[in-house]
Amino acid sequence: MTSNFTRSLLAFAITLTTTQGIAKPAFQQTIFFGDSLSDSGYYRPLLPNEIQAITGKFTTNPGWVWSEYVASYYGSNASPNGNSQSGNNYAAGGAHINEPSISILGEAPSLTSQTNAYLSAHGGKADPSALYTLWGGANDLLDTLTTPEQIHTIIGNATTAEISLVSTLKNAGAHYILVAAIPDLGLAPRARNTGTTAQSTAAATAYNTTLFTALKSAGLQVIPIDTFHLLQELITSPATYGFSNTTDTACTLQLPLCNPTTLVDANAPNTYAFADDIHPTTAAHHMLGQYAISILEAPRLQQVLTRSAQGIARARAYQVAWHLDGTPQQDGLHWWGSMRSDSQRNDSNDLYKSVAPAGLFGFDWHSGQIVSGGFIGYGRMHADFSNGNGTFKQKDTTLGGFSGWYTGPVWVNAQISYTLLNYDIKREVQLGPATRIHRGSPNGSNLTVALNASYEMGEGRLRYGSVAGLTWQKTKLESYTEQNASSTALGYADQQLNSLLGRVGLQMRLEGNVVTPYLQVTYDHEFKKQQNQANAWLQTMPEAGIYSVPGLTFNRNYASIVLGARTKIGHLQSNVGLTTSTEKNARDVTLFVNGNF
C-alpha cells in the first residue's frame, strides 16, 4: 500500500507540472483604415514590376510605416488590402475621411469606403478581439489651406464622419479602436514653404479637439494616440531622437516612388524626420510605432502590480498556515519566525520577472488542541518589466492573526492579514535612440483570509495523506499619474483584483529522529474571473477620457509542489524548503526557512 501511494503521488506531480496553459496576446489581429500615413503599399501593384520591391509606400522605401511595426509586435500583419491585395491594411495614400479622391495613381478610397469594404468581406461583423485603427483627416485639413473660409465646415463634416465610423465598428462588435490625432501639420516642410505654419497648426488643433471631445460626449470609448504633441517633442529636441535634419526632405523623387537610389543621402531615412514635405521617414515611423505600442501596453503593465502582490500574499499565507507541523506542543507561549525569497516569472506573456526577500515573525499561544496567535511581516520586491519596459519596486508591511485546532493526524487552521503596499514604478518608453522615463509611487493594500486543513495516516516512519486550502484575497491599487508629463505620460484609475484560490492534493513525509523530509503536490484552481480590461488615460489628451485594452490573462488551473525538510534539535524546530507553482512558461518559486522556539 505504501509503495502504491508513493507511485501515485509522483505520477500526480508529473501530470500536474506538465499541464499546458494558454497564453493569449493582447490582440488576435490588427486592422488598419487610413491615408498615406498608414499605407503599407496600396498602390504597389500599379507600379512597374521592376521597382515594386523598393517603392510603394509614402516614406523612405522600402522601410516600414508605423502600422507595420504595430502589427508585427502583435504577431499580426499590416499587408495592404486593395488593388488585388488581401491584407489587413486598407489604408490608401490620399484618402479623405468620407469622400473619394483622386491621387496620382488613381482613386483613393475614403476611410468610410475602406471600413465598409472590410465589414462587407466579413459578413458585417467586427472581431471583438482585434485592434482596429483609424487615422485620417490630414487630407481633409490640407483642403482648408486652399479654402480657409470653409475650415469649420470641412472639420465638422470630417469629424462627424470619423465619429460615425467609430460607431459603425462598435455596433459591428469591435471593442478596441485606436484613433490617432492629426499631427501638428505646421511643423511639416510644406507648411513652412507655403507660409501656412500657424494656420496648419490651428487647423490640426481644432480637428483633434472637436473629434475627441465629441467621441467622449457620444460615449464612444477609443484608444487615443497623441501624434500632435509627439511630433512637437521630436522636432523640439531632434538630436535626442537621432535626427540631424527636421526642415528638409530625405527624398528627391515624389512619393511613393522614393527609393534608396533617390535619397539626398544614404543614411537620410535614419537622420531626416521627413521623407517629403509632409510624410515621415522610416526612423520617424519607427518611433510612431513604438509610441503606439507603449500606449497599448502600459495599462496592462499596471495589472502586474496587483498580480505580484497577490502572489506574495499567497506565499505568505502558506508560510503562516504551515509554520506548525501538527504535532502537540507544550502549553503556553511560543515564538516563530520565517525568512523566504519569492521569485515570480512569466515569459510567455512577456510581462515581468522578480525577486522578493521577505520575513515573518509571530507568536503562538498553545492551550490543549487550540493554538492562537499573531504575526507581522515585511518584504521588498524588485521586478523588471520585460521588453525593456522598466522596473518596479514593491514594499509590503503585514499584520495578521492566526488560530488553529490540532489533534496530531488532523488539523485545521485559519488566518487573516492586512498588508500595506507601497510601489516605486519606473516605466520606460523607447523612442528610437531615446528612452523616456515615467515614474509613479502609488499605494495599495491586500486583505487575505485563508483556511487550511491536513489529514495524515501511515505505517511506521512513512506518513501520508491529503491537504486542502482556500485563500481569499482583495488587492487594491490607488490611482496615480505618471511624472514627466508628455505625449507618452499616462494616468491610471483605482484598481482592484479579487481572488479565491482553492487547493487540494496529497502529501507524504518520512519521519526521522532529526530530519523529516516531506513532499506536497496540489492542484490549484482560481474561482474568480480575471480582469477583462486594463484602463488608462492620456495626460496630454484629457478630452479623450479613459481608454481600455485587453487585460492580462493567466492560467486559472495549475500545480503547486512543496519539497522540504523539518528538523528538531532540542527546543528548536526548523523547516527548510522550496515551493513552486507551475504553469506553461510561468513559474512562482519560494525558498523558505522557518524556526519555532
User: Which active-site residues does the annotation give?
Assistant: 36, 276, 279
Start-to-end C-alpha separation, the chain: 36
Of 595, 80, 536, residue with least CA distance to 297 = 536
As a whole number of angstroms, the distance between CA 524 and CA 307 comes to: 16
Q: Which long-range contacts (CB under 8 A, 24 or more apart) does 561-565 make?
A: 561/13, 561/16, 561/17, 561/519, 561/520, 561/521, 561/522, 562/318, 562/518, 562/519, 562/520, 562/521, 563/517, 563/518, 563/519, 563/520, 564/517, 564/518, 564/592, 565/515, 565/516, 565/517, 565/518
Query: Are 38 and 108 within 8 A, CB to CB?
Result: no
Listed in sequence order, the residues at least 6 apart from 217 whose beta carbon sits closer than 8 Å to its beta carbon are none
Give the H/E segment covering residue 236: helix 227-236
Neighbours of 169 (CB within 10 A): 24
In this structure, which amino acid lies at residue 343?
A: S
Of 106, 104, 56, 100, residue with least CA distance to 80 = 56
The grid coordinates listed for 89 are 491594411
Q: From residue 145, how far is each of 151, 188, 200, 591 by CA, in Å?
A: 8, 14, 8, 68
In this structure, which amino acid lies at residue 14?
A: I
Neighbours of 8 (CB within 10 A): 13
Q: Is 513 exposed, middle or buried (0-12, 13-18, 19+ CB in 10 A)?
A: exposed
The grid coordinates listed for 515 are 530530519
